[in-house]
Amino acid sequence: MRILVVEDDPALAEVIAEGLRDQGLAVDLTHDGLTAAAKLDVTTPDVVILDRDLPGLHGDTLCQMITEAPLRAGRPGRPMVLMLTAAGAPGDRVSGLTLGADDYLSKPFHFPELILRIHALARRRPYARARTLSVAGIDLDPVRRIATRDGRGLDLSVKEFAVLAALLQASPGFLSAEALLDQVWDENADPFTNTVAVTVGRLRRKLGDPPAIVTTPGVGYRVPPAE
């Protein structure tokens, strides 16, 4: 899952980003509304965590731009918007939701609640699948961070878990290495790195036999459904 954090306090933004990355999420950061709008013009994150009082372009305006933008070919729907702001009075929450925000969380906040709300928003996206992903005997719950194969628990690293989630979500289709970099890592990932192949290799070994991940050169990776 990919998250865009738009927060004008650099220290708080880094804390949020590191906490989300520890949960296996790909996180991009920006500290002003204009830069965020530019990023959203080229990428579509699953969730935007949006401060309201932003320099350059106010968070309210950016929220409306996100929620009212027409769908574009090749884009999987708009991001879900979680307003995260110090303006926490009931009237502020109402006005934020009226602007089109999908959820509203006041500062200070409890980090586990932020994580739960992010996952809840991602499940509400039009193309989202059920909470538990199940393909070919593999079951994965991204909220509880539990993965099993044929009832056997899998001890996965953060990135291995995120790669498996992405592959299960895409099944029966393929995901290229570039698509996995985009979904599991972030905009700072080196497109020429072999980190995807290395991570998939470790994941394949942990899943065991029979092989669950199919690799097609020049196409990508997939987890085919059981026959």
Boundaries of domain holding 163: 133-222
Residue in the structure block whose two tokens are 């590191």: 18
- The domain spanning residue 93 has which CATH number? 3.40.50.2300
H helices of the chain, where? 10-22, 33-40, 59-68, 90-98, 111-124, 158-170, 177-184, 195-207
Instruction: Mark whether 159 and 119 lie in a shared domain.
Output: no
pTM over 0.75: no
Asked whether residue 98 is assigned to any structural domain, the reply reads yes
Averaged pLDDT for residues 76-94: 75
Q: How many residues does the chain have?
A: 227
Instruction: Mark whether 119 and 137 lie in a shared domain.
Output: no
Q: Which of 95, 124, 153 is the last residue of a domain?
A: 124
Q: What is the pLDDT of residues 48-72, one digit of tens each?
A: 999 988 999 999 999 999 988 765 5
Q: What is the pLDDT of residues 127-172, one digit of tens each?
A: 555 568 899 899 998 877 899 999 999 999 989 999 999 999 889 9
Instruction: Mark whether 111 and 157 lie in a shared domain.
Output: no
Instruction: Mark whether 105 and 68 lie in a shared domain.
Output: yes
State what percent of residues in the chain have pLDDT above 90.
Answer: 54
Q: Which of 94, 124, 154 is the last residue of a domain?
A: 124
Asked whether residue 227 is assigned to any structural domain, the reply reads no
Asked whether residue 196 is assigned to any structural domain, the reply reads yes
Say how many domains are in the chain. Answer: 2
Q: Residue 206's closest CA among 161, 134, 156, 132?
A: 156
- The domain spanning residue 210 has which CATH number? 1.10.10.10
Instruction: Mark whether 95 and 7 lie in a shared domain.
Output: yes
Q: How many CB atoms lie within 10 A of CB 74?
A: 6
Residue in the structure block whose two tokens are 């935007």: 48
Which pLDDT score, from 0 to 100, does residue 73 have?
Answer: 43
Residue 117 has pLDDT above 50, yes or no: yes
The mean-pLDDT minimum among 93-102, 120-129, 178-187 falls in 120-129
What average pLDDT does the structure give for the chain?
87
Residue 40 has pLDDT above 60, yes or no: yes
Q: Which of 61, 94, 124 is the last residue of a domain?
A: 124
Kindly indicate the confidence band of residue 181, based on its pLDDT and cuts at 50, 70 and 90: confident
The mean-pLDDT minimum among 51-55, 88-92, 110-114 falls in 88-92
Asked whether residue 109 is assigned to any structural domain, the reply reads yes
Instruction: Mark whether 173 and 210 lie in a shared domain.
Output: yes
